[in-house]
Amino acid sequence: MNIKQFLSLEWKQFRRSSFFEKGLVIKILMLLAALYFASIAILAGVGVFFIFKKTLPEEDPFKMINNFLIYWVIGDLALRYFLQQLPVLNIKPMLILPIKRNAVIRFLLLKTSFSFFNILPLLFFIPLAIVIIVQGYSPFMVVLWFLSILSISFSINFLNFILNKNNPIFYGVIAFLALISGMQYFGIFDISQYLGVVFYSFYSLGYTLIIPVFLVILLFKANYRMLKKNFYVDGAVQGKKESFSNYNLEFLNKFGKLSIFLKNDIKMITRNARPKQVLLMSFFFLFYGLIFYTQDTYRDLPIVLAFASIFVTGGFLISFGQLVPSWDSEYYKLMMSQNISYKKYLESKWYLMALACAASFVLSAPYIYFGWDIFAMIAAGASFNIGLNSFITLYGGALNRVPIELNQKAKAFSNTQGFNPTQLLMSLPKLLGPMLIFYIPYKLINFNAGIIALALSGVLGLVFKSYFLNLIEKVYQKTKYKTISAFSEKK
Amino acid sequence: METIIHVQDLSKSYNADKILDIESLDIPKGQSFGLVGNNGAGKTTFFSLLLDLIPPTTGQIESKGIIVNQSEEWKPFTSSFIDESFLIGYLTAEEYFYFIGDLRNTSKAEVDELLSEFEDFFHGEILNQKKYLRDLSKGNQKKAGIVAALIGQPEIVILDEPFANLDPTTQIRLKRIIKDLSSQNHVTVLISSHDLMHVTDVCERIVVLDKGQVVKDMKTSEATLKELELYFER
């Protein structure tokens, strides 16, 4: 087996991936999204120099950029940790073929270099390097600096895989990061200054390029050794086996028949990688308001604040709800042949979403800091979420027929699960609905009227709960066979 | 014996391919019914139709007088294990059994009582394992699925390829269980199998499917195994 054969396999995997089997509309949308991110990266790369130049005219912009690079390193690492996985599982069939292990491992590791996560920084740093050269910095030294940055990017790539597989090192790195950011925060020791000097030295001295290059080689070797040692069906190639965890969920019994599903869903969320990811994401949504409430520009644009308030409490509701019933896709045939009433099933999902929404609302209490009007808006948003958004989301989910592999983390961009034109259409009322419900009374009467209207819309939704659930149930029954067959397709 | 499953003019086609075509088939209550046939003969298709997992192209199946693709009333007295997609991978075996018990209105104590009868069958590898079902071996997953299908006193039990992946000891125990189900509890058991010996051992009646058609329908006797072997040697 030579490199050509590996590449042809890769090409087939890429060509035949679910991405290309999607409809044309989705392809175009995905392409637009990719172009969007790419152009943002390029624009940022071109613009960042001038931004620094303008805001801090007396400093050397390039030096300032270097001071901030540490944040890129940490952010990039965090992003990769959650989204990028070492694709070891693909190689199981190769283990028994007459190919040298070394060749497979080397290929596997080199392959990761071409991932989306390595290309995005390039799109940022290449324009930046060009701008810097044009601005009169020494071209040769800039090239050295660029090569150093490139090496660091690859180091992050390889470090991430080690972090994913090795808990002691993972906790070590976390502790180290916590320590330095703590010291930075309390002003004890400003590490970014010192690291800025190091980053700048790639340009000013040049020969320090040796450090990141050495780091890449070291991390590559470490990965190589780690994989080689574990390159067995019961080693790295095997998916992670989690240890059993149990907790008492008897308190849910008061929900009667619903508790069967509630208990099951809680186990589903806590014991599988994908829903855990969703849980984490929805936690981040709690901070969504910070982007808007802190900016004065938005303070005078309450309609934007209404939009933000929906997301503060609705993160879980939206990201979990749009994939109902896909969460149960792995055992959907069981659910469909068992003694289950759709309505109870849906109702339990609704309760889960409502409970999560209520919990997010409690956690959002610190927003009181930005004023009671903001908090009232969040409360109204929560009411809308529980009373209306939940049903809209469940309805959209019912039209969604993409199976989910519960214990596989979602991969960035290769994962288009739960993304289809209907879903997109369904997201319009989710986003525009609350804005309109708020905006019309706000314009006609005043701010408080807007909030009351938004809160009331949720209450109204609750009154019609049974009607809505029946409506969604009908969709379930109508599309039952289609859903079963879609869920049993091999991925 | 009263008929519990009544198949009438049933067919299933994908595009122009007719993959199942049964004019008429009656299964009496309490019978142990075996379905054999090569790959693609239509065994799993028939079971899927019986469980309303796919819609029939023509005709219908009546289960205790209920047309399965029109009403869901057959669900309370029917249970099945077709493949691993009937298991909930992130539960332990006990949690899974209790979950099914909850769905079938069977209390924890009743489930425990039923499970105690299967201690032999489990061979100490299913219960109290602190392991999720997805981490069990294929054979042990199958055992859990089969036993789960017996929870809640079903009147019809459908098992697709129950003997595959099981070790010899378990196969023998499973045969005992199936025989008891139909002879003592009058449960109608439908199984499919590639193993002619097991299926003739266990089933009172054997139907051979070929390309979706019923080609043989026989009461099991001494000569059945020989006859089946001759048929499949062609």
> What pLDDT digit, counting tens, does each position of A382-405 carry?
999 999 999 998 988 888 777 888
Give the Å distances, CA to CA, from A355 to A195, A352, A376: 45, 5, 19
Tell which of A176, A195, A229 closes a domain. A229
CB pairs under 8 A between A and B: 76
Which of the pair, B207 or A225, is modelled with greater confidence? B207
Does residue B119 have a pLDDT over 80?
Answer: yes
Quote the pLDDT of residue A414. 44
Any B CB within 8 A of A481 CB? yes
Domain range for residue A480? 250-487
Same domain, A129 and A256: no
A422-426, B178-182, B215-219: segment of lowest average pLDDT: A422-426
Mutate to test the interface with B, among A240, A327, A334 (most CBs of B within 10 A): A334
Residue at A335 is within a domain: yes
Distance separating alpha carbons of residues A426 and B41, to the nearest angstrom? 42
CB contact (8 A) between residue A267 and residue B55: no
B228 Cα to chain A: minimum distance (Å): 32
Residues A408-413 have a mean pLDDT of 57
A301-310, A469-478, B15-24, B81-90: segment of lowest average pLDDT: A301-310
Quote the pLDDT of residue A424. 66
Q: Are strands B156-160 and B17-28 parallel, antiparallel or unpaired?
A: unpaired
- Give me the amino acid identity at B151: I
Same domain, A171 and A310: no
Same domain, A221 and A305: no
Q: How far apart are the first and last CA of chain A?
A: 26
Any A CB within 8 A of B66 CB? no
**Residue in B with minimal Cα distance to A340:** B103
Does residue B62 have a pLDDT over 60?
Answer: yes
Quote the pLDDT of residue A11. 76
Quote the pLDDT of residue A409. 66
Q: What is the DSSP letter of B71?
A: -
Mean of per-residue pLDDT scores for chain A: 82
Same domain, A322 and A439: yes
Same domain, A180 and A280: no
**Residue in A with minimal Cα distance to B102:** A260
CB contact (8 A) between residue A334 and residue B78: no
User: CA triplet A101, A106, A109: central angle to 5 degrees?
Assistant: 125
Instruction: Residue A273: list chain B partners with CB under 8 A.
Output: none
Residue A242: band (very low, low, confident or very high) from pLDDT cuts 50, 70, 90: low
CB contact (8 A) between residue B76 and residue A406: no
Residues A413-432 have a mean pLDDT of 62
Does residue A101 have a pLDDT over 90?
Answer: no
Residue at A236 is within a domain: no
Task: Name, of A290-304, A333-347, B75-89, the range with top average pLDDT.
Answer: B75-89
Residues A266-291 have a mean pLDDT of 86
Residue A408: band (very low, low, confident or very high) from pLDDT cuts 50, 70, 90: confident
Residues B75-83 have a mean pLDDT of 92
Q: Percentage of chain A with pLDDT > 90?
A: 15
Residue pair B208/B15 in contact (Cβ under 8 Å)? The answer is no
CB contact (8 A) between residue A331 and residue B55: no
> What pLDDT digit, counting tens, does each position of A194-207 carry?
888 888 888 888 88
Residues A1-27 have a mean pLDDT of 68
Quote the pLDDT of residue A240. 54
Residues A125-139 have a mean pLDDT of 88
Residue A162: band (very low, low, confident or very high) from pLDDT cuts 50, 70, 90: confident
Residue at A418 is within a domain: yes
Tell which of A198, A229, A260 closes a domain. A229
Does residue B79 have a pLDDT over 90?
Answer: yes
A282 Cα to chain B: minimum distance (Å): 22
Instruction: Residue A333: list chain B partners with CB under 8 A.
Output: 51, 53, 82-83, 85-86
Any B CB within 8 A of A338 CB? yes
User: CA triplet B85, B90, B92: central angle to 5 degrees?
Assistant: 100
Which of the pair, A7 or A280, is modelled with greater confidence? A280
Does residue A225 have a pLDDT over 60?
Answer: yes
Does residue A92 have a pLDDT over 90?
Answer: no
Mean of per-residue pLDDT scores for chain B: 91
Distance separating alpha carbons of residues A114 and A127, to the nearest angstrom? 19
Quote the pLDDT of residue A445. 86
Mutate to test the interface with B, among A331, A335, A336 (most CBs of B within 10 A): A331
Same domain, A298 and A204: no
Give the Å distances, CA to CA, from B208 to B13, B29, B200: 19, 20, 12
Instruction: Residue B63: list chain A partners with CB under 8 A.
Output: none
Q: Between B75, B130, B134, which is nearest A337 by CB? A: B75
Quote the pLDDT of residue A417. 47
Quote the pLDDT of residue A28. 75
Residues A300-318 have a mean pLDDT of 85
A235 Cα to chain B: minimum distance (Å): 15
Does residue A318 have a pLDDT over 70?
Answer: yes
Q: How far is CA A290 from the centre of its chain?
A: 18
Does residue A413 have a pLDDT over 50?
Answer: no
Quote the pLDDT of residue B24. 93
Residue A233: band (very low, low, confident or very high) from pLDDT cuts 50, 70, 90: low
B75-103 burial, b at 16+ Cβ within 10 Å, e below that, comes to: bbbbbbbbeebbbbbbbbbbbbbbbbbbb
Mutate to test the interface with B, among A253, A338, A406 (most CBs of B within 10 A): A338
Written as six digits, the tokens of B32 are: 């142990």
Reduced to 3 states (helix: H, G, I; strand: E, B; else coil), residue B187 is coil
Which of the pair, A125 or A303, is modelled with greater confidence? A125
A258 Cα to chain B: minimum distance (Å): 10
Same domain, A330 and A221: no
Count of domains forming chain A: 2
Establish how many alpha carbons lie within 13 A of residue A478's alpha carbon, considering only the half-sphere containing its beta carbon: 9
Any B CB within 8 A of A407 CB? yes
Residue A72: band (very low, low, confident or very high) from pLDDT cuts 50, 70, 90: confident
- List the domain boundaries for chain B: 3-233
Residues B150-162 have a mean pLDDT of 93
Instruction: Residue A267: list chain B partners with CB under 8 A.
Output: 90-91, 95
Instruction: Residue B80: list chain A partners with CB under 8 A.
Output: 337
Residue at A50 is within a domain: yes
Quote the pLDDT of residue A416. 47
Residues A471-480 have a mean pLDDT of 89
Residues B173-182 have a mean pLDDT of 91
Residue pair B206/B25 in contact (Cβ under 8 Å)? The answer is no
Report the CATH superfamily, name and number, of domain B3-233. Answer: P-loop containing nucleotide triphosphate hydrolases (3.40.50.300)
Same domain, A196 and A298: no
Quote the pLDDT of residue B68. 92
Same domain, A154 and A272: no
CB contact (8 A) between residue A406 and residue B90: yes
CB contact (8 A) between residue A331 and residue B89: yes
Residues A410-427 have a mean pLDDT of 56
Residue at A315 is within a domain: yes
Quote the pLDDT of residue A273. 83
Peptide bond into A325 cis (omega under 30): yes
Q: List Cβ<8 Å contacts ≥24 apart for B175-182.
A: B175/B201, B175/B202, B177/B118, B177/B121, B177/B150, B178/B32, B178/B202, B179/B32, B181/B32, B181/B150, B181/B157, B182/B30, B182/B31, B182/B32
B86 Cα to chain A: minimum distance (Å): 5
> What pLDDT digit, counting tens, does each position of A16-39 carry?
765 555 566 666 777 787 788 888
Q: Between A333, A338, A406, which is nearest B103 by CB? A: A338
Residue pair A164/A81 in contact (Cβ under 8 Å)? The answer is yes
Q: Percentage of chain B with pLDDT > 90?
A: 69
Mutate to test the interface with A, among B70, B83, B88 (most CBs of A within 10 A): B88
The ipTM value here is 0.88
Quote the pLDDT of residue B202. 93
Quote the pLDDT of residue A418. 47
Any A CB within 8 A of B131 CB? yes
Instruction: Residue A330: list chain B partners with CB under 8 A.
Output: 85, 88-89
Residue A468: CB atoms within 10 A of its CB come to 21
- Give me the amino acid identity at A125: F
